[in-house]
Every structure is written in C-alpha cells, then in structure tokens.
Amino acid sequence: MGKLKKIGVLTSGGDAPGMNAAVRAVVRTAIYYDIEIVGVFQGFDGLISAKFIDLDSRSVSNIINRGGTILKTARSEKFKTKEGRKIAHKNLLDQGIEALVVIGGDGSFTGARIFEQEFNFPCIGIPGTIDNDIYGTDFTIGFDTAVNTVIEAVDKIRDTASSHDRFFFIEVMGRDSGYIALHSGIACGAEKIMIPELEGEFESLVETLKEGTKRKKTSNIVIVAEGDQEGGAYEIAKKTRIEFPEFDVKVTVLGHTQRGGSPTCSDRVMATRMGVKAVECLMLNRSNVMVGIVNNHIVTCSLLDAIKQHPSLNPELLNVALIAST
C-alpha cells in the first residue's frame, strides 16, 4: 500500500468513558499526518447503513472531557452476517476509506478481525471497555473512570452503613471479570470482595462475617461483581439474612452509573496515546492488531490473541485484598 490517504474510525459494543478521547486522538493524528478521516456512526451498523461523516480538527473540540461517544455505539447483528459485511465493505470502498480504527471490546475485535480476513481490509483495535478484561493490555479505556465512580458511591454508602450499623452488598459491573470489584473493593476497604473467578465464596463470606462479629464490627461493605458465582448481590443478601438474621442487610446495585461520567486523567491520557499509536501503526501497514499499554509502554498484540486469550487476575491483588480486610 502507498501512502495512506483516508481512514475511518468507529466505536462499537458497550460504551466506556474515554472513548471520545480516543476518537479525538485518532482524528487529530490523522490530520497531523495529512490523512483524511471519516467518522462512522453507530459502530458496525453505520458501515452497513453508510452513516459516514467527514471529520476535522474542530469536529472533536471539547470532547476529551465527555463520557459516552459522540460517534454513538451499537451492537450490530447484521455485521455478523456475510451479506452485512459485504455491504459494509462496498460502502467503505465507495467512500475511499482504506483502513479502519475500531474502538471497542473483544466482540468488536472479533468483527474487525473477520472483516480484515474476508476482505483484506486493514483494521486496528483500541480497547474501550470498563471491564478491563482484554488480553494484551494492562488497562482498557474506561476502567479507571468506572472504578473511581464506584469508590465515590461506596464511600457515601459507607457513611450511612456505619451510622446505622448496616450491612451493605454493593453490586458492580463485571459479568465474567472481577477487575472492577477487586480494584474498587481494595480502594474502599471492603470487608469482602466476591468475583466470578473464585468459587465457594459464600462459605468464606460467612467466616469473614463471624470473625467480624467477634471483633465487634457493626457495619460491613461487601463488593459483589454482577457475575459472581453465588448469583449476584440480591441472592447473596438473601442467603446472608438467613444465616445472620440479626444483621440489617441492604443491597445497592450501581448499574449503569459505572458506564458514564467524565473520564479520569488516566483514561484520557491512555486513550490519547492509544489513538495516536493506532494511526501510526496503520501508516506503517500494521493492522490486524490491537494497541495496548503494558508497563506504561504502548505496545501492540494480534487481534487473535486479544480475543482468544484472557488476562488472569493478579494473585498479588487477591492477596492484598485478603490481608487488608482482616
């Protein structure tokens, strides 16, 4: 391929704070290197319905601080079909777009990888998901903001929990991954953290609570990842009420608050670094990879590895959580 003339950018799958910062960086980098840049609305759906918009430097003014994504995001069933992807490919060629930056999670990377293989169309991924569950990067865009949202809420709940001697189960996002629960639980001094990766946690919770009672603890905060193996915060609360009828047990589900809000400094800087790197990779004919950050260095990893491999929870963090809560 000669000099890259025109690229596209889209956000796909679940939104995450900091996606806008990544879009902005992609746009500004393209312009810096004299490459035309086109935004695609609503993820892969926008490729199929040809929702394109020419972007310039001003199009991305004042968005670095905004949560959500100005390009909107979507889950596209049509893109999962060969027919849908054929239309997407034709629309991209009609626009003169030569490569695509896909900001999203592993589902979006699966779509991007299939698309690149089918049509030999260069795609590069930027990890945007609050779950931090993507292999090949220490952090994903949105995770830091989400955990900060959680700790702000939990700190408030702790005030009322201790005033009323109450026991709170706080459910956070993480269907398959305990990253948000583990990090926010450590940061909030939770008495117990329950995550999908660990089995037999209810028995361990009962032990923790008994120990706490011996030490005359009157309030407790337990952080529960939504996908934990005991069935979520409401289910665990039900079982706890049976085991400890003397406790005043409450449940708070933080839900979608974790997906919104102004991105933290860390998410903005990381998203910007990833956006710059993604365009620079495409200029060097490097595609079919995801940009990541490892030990504070910007790196790339194949889309296949990013999709197929799973990051394992850091055992040191699990140990820290255990020791600090005793």
Best CA proximity match to 167, nearest among 223, 111, 215, 124: 223
Q: Is 29 in the site for ligand ADP (CB under 6 A)?
A: no
Q: Which residue has the tokens 């193996």?
A: 229
**Contact track, ligand ADP, 113-132, x by CB under 6 A:** -x--------------x---
The backbone torsions φ and ψ at residue 45, rounded to the nearest 5 degrees and listed phi first, read -55, -40
Catalytic annotation present for 159 = no
Q: Is 75 in the site for ligand ADP (CB under 6 A)?
A: yes
The backbone torsions φ and ψ at residue 241, rounded to the nearest 5 degrees and listed phi first, read -60, -35
Cβ closest to ligand ADP, residue 85 vs residue 192: 85
The backbone torsions φ and ψ at residue 145, rounded to the nearest 5 degrees and listed phi first, read -65, -45
CB of 111: closest distance to ligand ADP in angstroms? 3
The backbone torsions φ and ψ at residue 10, rounded to the nearest 5 degrees and listed phi first, read -145, 160
CB of 81: closest distance to ligand ADP in angstroms? 8
Q: Is 105 in the site for ligand ADP (CB under 6 A)?
A: yes
Residue 144: DSSP 8-state: H
Of 68, 107, 260, 261, the one binding ligand ADP by CB under 6 A: 107
C-alpha separations of 29 from 25, 32, 123, 268, 298 in Å: 6, 5, 16, 15, 16
Q: Is 11 in the site for ligand ADP (CB under 6 A)?
A: no
Q: Using DSSP, state whether 290 is helix, strand or coil.
A: strand
Of 17, 18, 40, 44, the one binding ligand ADP by CB under 6 A: 44
Tokens coding 168: 């709170």
> Considering 15, 131, 144, 228, which one is annotated as catalytic?
131
Cβ closest to ligand ADP, residue 237 vs residue 274: 274
Q: Is 111 in the site for ligand ADP (CB under 6 A)?
A: yes
Alpha-helical regions (H) of the chain:
19-32, 43-48, 82-95, 106-119, 143-163, 179-188, 201-214, 233-243, 265-283, 303-308, 315-324
Cβ closest to ligand ADP, residue 35 vs residue 48: 48
**Contact track, ligand ADP, 226-245, x by CB under 6 A:** --------------------
| Residues near ligand ADP, by CB under 6 A | 12-14, 44, 75-76, 79-80, 104-108, 110-111, 114, 129
- Residues with a catalytic annotation lie at 131
